[in-house]
Amino acid sequence: MSMISFPLTGQWLDHVQEFADTPWCCDAFDEVFVRHGWAAPREDGGPAVGWMGPWPLGDPADEAWHLVLGAYPGCADTDDPGVACDEPRCHEESFLALPLAYFAEGESWGALPARVVLDEDAREEDFTAFYDEAARLLRTRLGDPLPRARLLLLDPDADRQITWERGKSLVTLFLGENLFHYSVEDWIGIEVRPRHWSTGSPASSYSSS
């Protein structure tokens, strides 16, 4: 088995908190992504960030780490990209996920960013230990988690998960099959989504190559 992991540094803990504190509308997330150099300024009035799939955090895209983005954030009752609302039906598939580790047998990972760690002889215990360390770091930043984890939009059947509430967002650390890559590997990640998300069907329509 092999594992690639993206270290959860203090800077990335800051980013997770920033994601959770950002209003759920396109304009607000565009500002965050452009400011950090993860997207170019918008042109012709369109959104700077392309949601509904993987989003690279650098250039060239095939050598950058990435986020996984759900549906465009905003309000279903208006086309104004600067409007966020608390209506659950507007956020049924809204989320942002930061992958932290992938674990698979016989996987060819291709070119990897400099900060990504490759362990070609990883064991399942190494993978779960990575999850436990991420949980410790998040507890240090976010405090005590909710007594019970909330339904995970990315994978309602995740093997392990812990959820924190921060402002109007839920932050969930999870470990489970990567449904976005046809379950060929397991992954650990952090999902951020609106707290007012409803309990509709999971977003299973997005995939990555």
Give the mean pLDDT of 9-18. 96
Q: Which of 30-34, 61-65, 175-179 has the lowest mean pLDDT?
A: 61-65
Q: Per-residue pLDDT tens for 75-118? A: 989 989 999 888 888 877 899 999 999 998 877 788 888 889 99
Cα dist from 137 to 8, 22, 134, 142, 192, whole Å = 8, 21, 5, 9, 16
Task: Answer whether 164's CB lies under 8 Å from 146's CB.
Answer: yes
Give the mean pLDDT of 45-53. 89
**pLDDT of amino acid 115:** 86
Task: Answer whether 168's CB lies under 8 Å from 192's CB.
Answer: no
Q: Per-residue pLDDT tens for 143-197? A: 999 987 666 666 667 788 999 999 989 999 999 888 766 457 899 999 999 987 5
Q: Over the chain, what is the mean pLDDT?
A: 85
Q: How far apart, in whole angstroms, are the C-alpha atoms of residue 198 and residue 46? A: 27
pTM of this structure: 0.88
Sequence spans of domains, the chain: 2-194
